[in-house]
Copies of this chain bind each other. A is one copy, B any other.
Amino acid sequence: MSTPRKRLPGPVLRRLPRYLTHVRELKKEGLEWVSSQELAHALGLTMSTVRQDVSHLDLTGVSKRGYEVKRLEAALGQELGASTVHRDVIVGAGLLGCALALHGDLAESGFETVGIFDSDPDVVGKQVGDLTVRPMKDLRRIVRSRRVEIGIIAVPGSAAQEVADRLIECGVKGLLNLAHIHLRVPRGVEVVEARILARMQQLAHAIRVRKDYQDERIWSAET
């Protein structure tokens, strides 16, 4: 049985998946040990941040050698749910929903999609990898019988809240929202927003600031 853990600070939780990806890379390359300095360099952080982050994990390093890659991967996986299977369902069998259903990375990290659903009768019955698209009326039965924890919302924004309500009513514990609307959920349900549009907007901002900065440099140089 695992020790009850505290909720990790947001910044730490956002970094851990990056460590995990990198550490898996190292493992593939056959490396057995990695130091905080090496991790910091690879991810663009300081050694201090890395050591503080690792201190949240169930892991101790070794002086002069660093962290054992195998144990570090295990500890990160433990914190990020890769050490248990988490069953999910996808609602919305459009391109995005199907893309996720067929995306191998999720399966490799402990997520198992046990059903994909759509309200469109023309889409129901279609084959998506190993899964057959099911009608919404089957949602409750599947979520309950398979003890599904996570609902992935891959429907248009206009339908997202309704789908969320329905998933929650079926008993899922968390939602991944791929629509870009704000979901209202009762306490006790976790929501994480994917926000691809927001990422594009961040990019647009960063590009504009950089451009302004360059314009300014040119301008100053001319003055």
Contacts and interface: CB of A to CB of B under 8 A. Distances in A.
Contacts of A88: 200
Nearest to A175: B203
A111 B173 contact: no
A150 B207 contact: yes
> Which of A43, A190, A196 counts the most chain B CB atoms within 10 A?
A196
A75 to B, nearest CB: 13
Chain A residues touching B, majority SS = helix
A146 interface: no
Contacts of A178: 196
A81 interface: yes
B207 A149 contact: yes
Interface stretch (A9-17, A29-37, A133-141): A9-17
A195 B208 CA distance: 23
Interface residues of A, number: 75
Given A21-B181, A176-B203, A197 B6 contact: no
A197 B16 CA distance: 12
Interface stretch (A64-72, A115-123, A162-170, A212-220): A212-220
Interface of A: 2-8, 13-14, 16-18, 20-22, 25, 42-43, 79-82, 84, 86, 88, 94-96, 98-100, 102-103, 105-106, 109-111, 149-150, 157, 173-176, 178, 180-182, 188, 190, 192-213, 215-216
